[in-house]
Amino acid sequence: MGDQPVQVYDTTLRDGMQQEGMSVSVDEKARIALKLDELGLHFIEGGFPASNPKEAAFFARMERERLEHAALVAFGMTRRKGAVAADDGNLRVLAEVFTPTVAIVGKTWGLHLTKVLHVSRDENLRMIADSVAFLVAEGKRVVYDAEHFFDAWRDDAAYALSCIRAAAEAGAGVICLCDTNGAALPSFVDAVVREVVAEVEALVGVHIHNDSDCAVAASLVAVEAGARHVQGTMNGYGERCGNANLVSILPALQLKMGHRVVSAAQLQRLTETANFVADLANVALGAHAPYVGRSAFAHKGGLHVAAVEQTPQTFEHVDPAAVGNEQRVLISELSGKGAILRKAQEIGLQLSGDDARVTSVLKSLKEREHRGYHYEAADASFDLLLRDTMAPHEPLFRLESFRVIVEKREDGRAVCEATIKIHVGGERIVSTAEGNGPVNALDTALRQAIVRTHPHLADIELTNYKVRILDEAKGTGAVTRVLLDASDGERSWGSIGVSENVVEASWEALVDSIEYGMLRGAEGDA
């Protein structure tokens, strides 16, 4: 078993979509599938081809697409009780779908047989065997998902084993042990997988939910115990507490456990892919997400930065470049000249430690932090501040004025309208836009004004907006700090604005965010 490669099976488009509030269009599903294919995953589960028109449309669309690496998988379940597999409508759909690989889920746990399905244990075994055998006879490669396997094992290990034996003997290519309720701890998964691998002649996989916050750990332990097929979702999406997060499983298998799952170049697309899926799912990717989050390789504090500068392994568990992420040095009062020099180098400015401009940046940094600026989560604003001190550049535009009107109407609706007057490349532009809030209206008006000269703007999306009232600044009353996150689908960045007025603070953060995004775009095009 040791020399057998590990298969990674993504179920973002099926199980991941069970997450509360998650909804993507057919087109978005197709784009996610193509992106996951580029990452080099082996299987992409697309859903049940006939459960609703949207799923059917997705499979019809995917029939025209070409996947380079992954096998698209159609998902369904074992035949109904008392029926003949060949006459079962759902199984017929799977037999006729264009994908050579199909997955079916079946019951294992006595509790579900008596309380939910009202099926005898023997009939359940026949349902499993008949369904797998039918699909195999139809020429399909079958992944068999043994639902509630770990709970079933605790309840009656012999019966749980007979269920998966039935599937294996009927010709299933993969026997996937599911922890559907996410109850199992890694030590239990380890023990069960070892016994199953020893007892059953089939490729064994796991599908683990995260209710105990152990899904990644349990999946990795399962591979150590001999499983060679791991199911999960991008960013751990899934109902309740989510599924096993492939974004963490993939680099662990490859970089720490020595399995060659995808190529090194494919693994470098991990951060980009995680962000891409998060953007389409419209769920902000957590800054602290392991491997791919913006803070995953962020370092704070003078000594710490000096050490990681010289020897990255002192404070980094893997090379950030291996997963397409990057090291970041957080800028705060704690950081000294070293961090400033390092940042300057990142943006292509060669400076020596005794350069007077370094001291001047440090000074203005401290002065701004005193006023309520906080650059740790606002890398874009800091980047711009540094560039401006080191080598003053022409701003993207010059603001003449902006105005925002908030109108509450009789019907209960509140509408915002923003008008901005700016000068871009010698031209005066007046732009007006409506929005669901003042920031949205300002953002739309500003983009409208400059998108013609900077088409890359169209790719930038504001992903998060946080407002905090600070009482740190004394004498002037409360000050508002706005943190804005933006993304261009590949990377995300943060900007900051501070003012006594929330609209003014938002505008400052907005301008930094867009200006930084355009710099990125300009560098990307080069």
**Interface positions with Zn ion (CB under 5 A):** 15
**Is 485 within 8 Å of 514 (Cβ atoms)?**
no
Which residue's beta carbon is nearest to the bound Zn ion? Answer: 15
500 vs 515: CA distance, rounded Å: 23
Closest CA relative to residue 131, chosen from 115, 111, 107: 107
For the CB of residue 319, give the shortest distance to Zn ion in the complex, in Å.
Answer: 32
What are the strands of the beta sheet with 479-487, ordered from one edge? 461-470, 479-487, 492-499
Question: Based on CB atoms, which residue is closest to Zn ion, 177 or 518?
Answer: 177
Q: Count CA atoms closer than 13 A to 378's CA, side-chain side.
A: 30
Closest CA relative to residue 178, chosen from 138, 198, 205, 143: 205
CA 375: distance to chain centroid? Answer: 24
Question: Based on CB atoms, which residue is closest to Zn ion, 237 or 375?
Answer: 237
For the CB of residue 151, give the shortest distance to Zn ion in the complex, in Å.
Answer: 13
Q: Count CA atoms closer than 13 A to 268's CA, side-chain side.
A: 7
Question: Based on CB atoms, which residue is closest to Zn ion, 15 or 88?
Answer: 15
For the CB of residue 517, give the shortest distance to Zn ion in the complex, in Å.
Answer: 37
For the CB of residue 46, give the shortest distance to Zn ion in the complex, in Å.
Answer: 15
Question: Based on CB atoms, which residue is closest to Zn ion, 130 or 151?
Answer: 151
For the CB of residue 130, give the shortest distance to Zn ion in the complex, in Å.
Answer: 23
Provide the sign of the torsion angle of the four alpha carbons 189, 194, 200, 204, taken in this order.
positive
Q: Map tokens 């997955």 to a residue.
A: 103
For the CB of residue 150, give the shortest distance to Zn ion in the complex, in Å.
Answer: 12
* DSSP notation for 320-380: GGGGT---EE--STT--HHHHHHHHHHTT----TT-HHHHHHHHHHHHHHHHT---TT-HH
* Three-point CA angle 482, 484, 489, nearest 5°: 180
For the CB of residue 126, give the shortest distance to Zn ion in the complex, in Å.
Answer: 24
Question: Based on CB atoms, which residue is closest to Zn ion, 94 or 103?
Answer: 103
Question: Based on CB atoms, which residue is closest to Zn ion, 179 or 512?
Answer: 179
For the CB of residue 257, give the shortest distance to Zn ion in the complex, in Å.
Answer: 23
Other C-beta atoms lying within 10 Å of the C-beta of residue 96: 11
For the CB of residue 47, give the shortest distance to Zn ion in the complex, in Å.
Answer: 13
Question: Based on CB atoms, which residue is closest to Zn ion, 10 or 15?
Answer: 15
For the CB of residue 121, give the shortest distance to Zn ion in the complex, in Å.
Answer: 23
- Tokens at residue 419, please? 């008008």
91 vs 190: CA distance, rounded Å: 33
Distances (CA, A) of 245 to 40, 47, 217, 288, 318: 16, 18, 10, 14, 18
Question: Based on CB atoms, which residue is closest to Zn ion, 145 or 508?
Answer: 145
| Coil, strand or helix at 101 | strand
| Coil, strand or helix at 141 | strand
102 vs 227: CA distance, rounded Å: 19
Question: Based on CB atoms, which residue is closest to Zn ion, 15 or 37?
Answer: 15
CA 4: distance to chain centroid? Answer: 28
406 CB contacts (<8 Å, ≥6 apart)?
Answer: 414, 415, 416, 438
Question: Based on CB atoms, which residue is closest to Zn ion, 244 or 274?
Answer: 244
For the CB of residue 32, give the shortest distance to Zn ion in the complex, in Å.
Answer: 18
Question: Based on CB atoms, which residue is closest to Zn ion, 243 or 444?
Answer: 243
- The separation between the first and the last C-alpha atoms of the chain, rounded to the nearest angstrom, is 47
